[in-house]
Structure 1
């Protein structure tokens, strides 16, 4: 049976706790989680759930990535993805230099289409494809927008910055994702597009959610709603409003606020009933199905794992659901199955997630923690679990 190495999340928590000169009992009081759970996580006997990691990071005043080990450099190098990050970083840094000398961009209509294509590629979890094409497209749209400023071009540029954020998050480069969101705000302002600006606040809220800063996340959600007020509702603004409520649902669930969870889900349900499937609106996957998926995710965040599994079994995912959402659903389901002792089901679900979205699953900290947890729980290791553990670098 494979054993946990000394670089798992629990070991990193132990190291950072010692640097902060705290005993396990002292940290357990601050988090607050039980001393027993902290002890089990540090020695690798229990998986470190996202809410637990966020609580420790907030208590120790460090980034979550210090504890999760992101980005997973060895695996990124093996997949030849790390080399694609620097060109993206450079393209984000050169936003204010005007048109690129000697570059003749394609017609604006083509650039707009290609920007949407990259958003769709990320939703389909084709991260390498999107990462390869992104820097060149940013340069083209930037040049075109500086030379002939139009709303459509600034919107397309904001869209490419959003794609940069999505790729950075999925690969674990959260510093880069923050830069991308700043650039998205810059382009959305030039496009005078309130819905894009609101989407950006939604994404900022999720950044703080991952870091365990739930109050800030809620403030950003409210700021997003504020940007959409004043004008008559449209299909786009209603879909974005609904997605903001879904983001608030997960933040409230992590904060253990059941009343807020129910209130935001009710608002999201109302928006979904009015617009139906609006997954094409800023590629957010907003739809009645997505509301159901967030309802299940809220149960997971509140550690109501049996309820989450019951919801998962009742869900019928449409064929057209974005692969990224399908994979996220499977990872949530696997976590719930592991936490309730259904280890064989959890492994089968993770294998399904890997088949659907290998890049997303390999670099998803929740999937990696679940695999680590299954390794520890197994009295003997099935061949499939051994392969999965080796695949994530365990």
Structure 2
């Protein structure tokens, strides 16, 4: 049963709703969810789904993080991750000071390898290691790019800024992720690489997706397609185009546009057939597997949990696929299983996500809400669920 004094997403929704002067019925009239569901979420009897949280945040004109409680500072301090954020913030802030006279950068090829290594750590969800190495890498590559400007070095710097974005998002520092994307744009423009520019628009679209601004997200995806027109029709361009369609499919799902979801998934599938598993293109993990995973996610977002689970049952994740993406899939699957009443299967999926990517899963708001939901629907919580709840700070 719920604990009235416990802080969770539902209590935060109630707090901000009251500050705005709205009753529960008043807020329910502003969002595409029922009064009954809102009352259950506020009381803690139902988990707050990401789409509901985004709708409430938009209706109350506040950031999503005000409702989710991110970043989860207590857990970040326990994992010694909180202390790594300030150096990243400083590295992003010093982009326009030119070369650092105290740094002697390595050759460009070695710097590119270093940037790729950081991307690989993110895909393996080694967030602590990536966050620890990132500030020095940004400083060194920034100095190299200012001293001997080249497209390769600016592209390498854009890659490190993209890693800063990924770290920030996964740890819940969304304000910092926006700064990182601005820096990525600054470096990508100097690299004259339309693919980088399009990837950046894709990532910006996901920022607005999280905040419930679906029309802006769609415009950013469209902008990304426009930028790609500047690139030749290569394998890499096809992969980025396909990824833009995948982003659009999830945004359309949140907007309850089922026709657009089907159209974008079909377009992405067509590009995936052409390029195969394109893991080498800007670390996107684009290909047939990602199309199938997005089909599951899209139907979860549309609250079509039965369809989502049927798609998931047909999906086989390759052993060498990005751990970060595989873990995210298991979290989505767990949400669908929980909503469909398959609580034991949902618990197994969350455990699998934790086993694959413990740091990412611990700071994933969807995983935390699913664990909370499982606790509330279980008459007697198994030891595994008790341990998971304590692990995420519930």
| Partner in structure 1 of residue 219 of structure 2 | 219
> 2:359: which partner in 1?
359
Take 1:373 and 1:277, find their aligned partners in 2: how far apart are those partners?
Answer: 35
Map 1:46-125 onto structure 2 (within 5 A).
46-125=46-125
Task: From the superposition, tell whether residues 201 and 123 of structure 1 become closer, same or farther in structure 2 (CA, over 3 Å).
Answer: same
| 2:129 matches 1:138 | no
Q: Aligned-pair distance for 1:2?
A: 8.9
How many residues matched? 394
Q: Which residue of 2 aligns with 1:201?
A: 201
Counterparts of 1:132 and 1:4 in 2: how far apart (Å)?
A: 39
1:96 positional shift: 0.2
**2:387, 2:366 → 1: CA distance?**
18
CA distance in 2, matches of 1:128, 1:225: 34
Partners of 2:231 and 2:168 in 1: CA distance: 33
Native 8 Å contact 2:9 2:67 kept in 1: yes
Label 1:285 to 1:26 Cα distance change in 2 as closer, same or farther (>3 A): same
The aligned residue for residue 372 of structure 1 is: 372
* CA gap 1:146/1:4 in 2 versus in 1, 3 angstroms: farther
- The C-alpha deviation readout for 1:196-230, integer Å capped at 9, x for no partner, is 00000000000000000000000000000000114
* Deviation by residue 1:138-186 (Cα, 9 ceiling, x = unmatched): 0000000000001110000000000000000000000000000000000
Structure 2's unaligned 5+ residue stretches are none
Question: Aligned partners of 2:306 and 2:266: how far apart in 1?
Answer: 22
| 2: CA distance, partners of 1:310 / 1:231 | 38
Q: What is the correspondence of 1:220-369 to structure 2 with a 5 Å cutoff?
A: 220-369=220-369
Measured after TM superposition, the shift of residue 6 of structure 1 is: 2.0
What do residues 85-121 of structure 1 show as CA deviations (whole Å, max 9, x unaligned)? 0000000000000011211011111000110110111
Determine if the alignment matches structure 1 residue 176 to structure 2 residue 169: no
**In the aligned structure 2, how far is the partner of 1:385 from the partner of 1:230?**
51
Distance 1:233 1:59 in 2: 42
Once residues 350 and 265 of structure 1 are traced to their aligned partners in structure 2, the CA distance between those partners, rounded to angstroms, is 26
Cα separation, 2, equivalents of 1:375 and 1:106: 52
Aligned-partner Cα distance in 2 for 1:109–1:251: 37
Q: Supply the RMSD in Å over aligned alpha carbons.
A: 1.0
Shift of 1:232: 3.2
1:126 aligns with 2:134: no
SS of the residue aligned with 2:381? coil
Which deviates the most, 2-11 or 278-287? Answer: 2-11
TM-score, length-normalised on structure 1?
0.99
Question: Equivalents in 2 of 1:109, 1:78: separation in Å?
Answer: 36
Give the superposition deviation at 1:312: 1.1
Contact 2:273/2:288 (<8 A) preserved: yes
Distance 2:233 2:344 in 1: 47
Instruction: Determine which structure has greater relative contact order: mean sequence separation of CA pairs < 8 Å that are 6+ residues apart, divided by chain length.
Output: 1
Residues 282-326 of structure 1: per-residue CA shift (max 9 Å, x gap): 001001110010011111000011111111111111111100010
Q: Secondary structure at the match of 2:265?
A: helix
| Partners of 2:2 and 2:43 within 8 A in 1 | no
Q: Report what 1:190 is aligned to.
A: 190
Counterpart CA distance in 1 for 2:270 and 2:384 is 43
Stretches of structure 1 lacking an aligned partner (at least 5 in a row): none
